[in-house]
Amino acid sequence: MATQNQYSMQDPLKQYPGPNFERQPQSPPGLAKDMNPRPDHGEQSYQGFGRLKGRRALITGADSGIGRAVAIAFAREGADLALNYLPSEEADAQEVRKLVADAGVNAVALPGDISDEAFCRELVTRTVSELGGIDILVNIAGKQTSVESIAELTTEQFEATFRTNVFAMFWLCKAALEHMPPGATIINTTSIQSYQPSASLLDYAPSKAAITAFTHALAKQVAPKGVRVNAVAPGPIWTPLQPSGGQPQEKIEVFGSEVPMKRPGQPAELAPIYVVLASQESSFVTGEVYGVTGGNPIT
């Protein structure tokens, strides 16, 4: 994909590629480096303004997609980072580690499987010991596997989706809140699927609805501590989640055509929202869900 300038005024319909795309099956969790076209995570474009200077952030799903874009943006805004991803994604993670190191911040890679409660606790403990504390928790990792019929949807898949998308968020929030000072923020990643569920995402869509409700409830619970909790609800975004089983390949060909802007979003288009929700600029925003959908409302 050509280098994009995120800051100059331009027609957003033409800013990034739209359908048709090639079929490009990958096995989950998939790699950004094997996508065509390669997603734009803001590698060439994101400009930091010191908005997160000195903050310590744990980001899950940080190797690719939305998580990579957030890691790049947070690093360029001055945050020290703990980066979580699956060990099988090391090739993508290496690219992120280099980009983050180039930004001159302190970063530690903590690969591992967040569907395991003990690992989630360890992830927070290690973030605190390596970075000296935790001010921002960004839950971005997620599992999405399209299955046409309820008859073929297994208990194993249903449980794995909820463990990865919902339980891990609960375990990480619980552990992180023990260490978070006033001014700290949590950002969860829900989906348009929380509001407009697809027929083939019978486990994923309700897991995202759970994330939305958890965000609203936790925001109320921890407001008295001065900790804010928000969520981002993406629409179709060009990331490895989708061609690696998140959608059937025939839907990859027309991915993004269902939204008014007639193209998928790129991870780089989400990072600024996570930055503003993490920074003190959004000091009166909590319990909110911010849609980045290309025009389909989150209602």
Report d(CA 297, CA 286) in Å as an integer: 20
Q: Which of 141, 230, 216 is nearest to 185 (CA)?
A: 230
Strand order in the sheet with 185-189: 107-109, 80-83, 56-59, 136-139, 185-189, 228-234, 289-292
Tokens at 253, concatenated: 């060909």
Report d(CA 6, CA 1) in Å as an integer: 14
**Active-site entry in 195, 204, 274, 290:** 204
- Residue in 48, 61, 243, 291 binding ligand NAD, rule: CB under 6 A: 61
Helix and strand numbers, DSSP H then E, in the chain: 8, 7
Q: What residues are paired with 292 via a beta bridge?
A: 234
Amino acid at site 91: A
Q: Shortest approach of ligand NAD to residue 240 CB, angstroms? A: 4
Q: Which does 173 bind (CB under 5 to 8 A by kind): ligand NAD, Mg ion, none?
A: none
Contact criterion met (CB below 8 Å) for 203 and 161 = yes
| Cα angle value 44/40/45 (rounded, 5°) | 25
- Judged by CB under 6 A, does residue 293 bind ligand NAD? no
What track of x and - describes contact with ligand NAD for positions 73 through 92 (by CB under 6 A)?
Answer: ------------xx--x---
Q: Shortest approach of ligand NAD to residue 8 CB, angstroms? A: 25
Residue 196 phi, psi (nearest 5): -125, 75
Q: Reply yes or no: is the peptide bond before residue 182 cis, omega within 30 of 0.
A: no
The question of whether 195 is a catalytic residue gets the answer no
Q: Shortest approach of ligand NAD to residue 211 CB, angstroms? A: 8
Q: Which does 4 bind (CB under 5 to 8 A by kind): Mg ion, ligand NAD, none?
A: none
- Residue in 241, 273, 277, 278 binding ligand NAD, rule: CB under 6 A: 241
- Judged by CB under 6 A, does residue 203 bind ligand NAD? no
Q: Shortest approach of ligand NAD to residue 182 CB, angstroms? A: 27
Q: Which does 234 bind (CB under 5 to 8 A by kind): Mg ion, ligand NAD, none?
A: ligand NAD
User: Considering only 2-10, 139-147, 173-181, 223-231, which stretch makes contact with ligand NAD by CB under 6 A?
Assistant: 139-147
Q: List contacts with ligand NAD (CB under 6 A).
A: 29-30, 60-61, 63-67, 85-86, 89, 113-115, 140-144, 164, 189, 191, 234, 236-237, 239-242
Which residues are catalytic, by number?
204
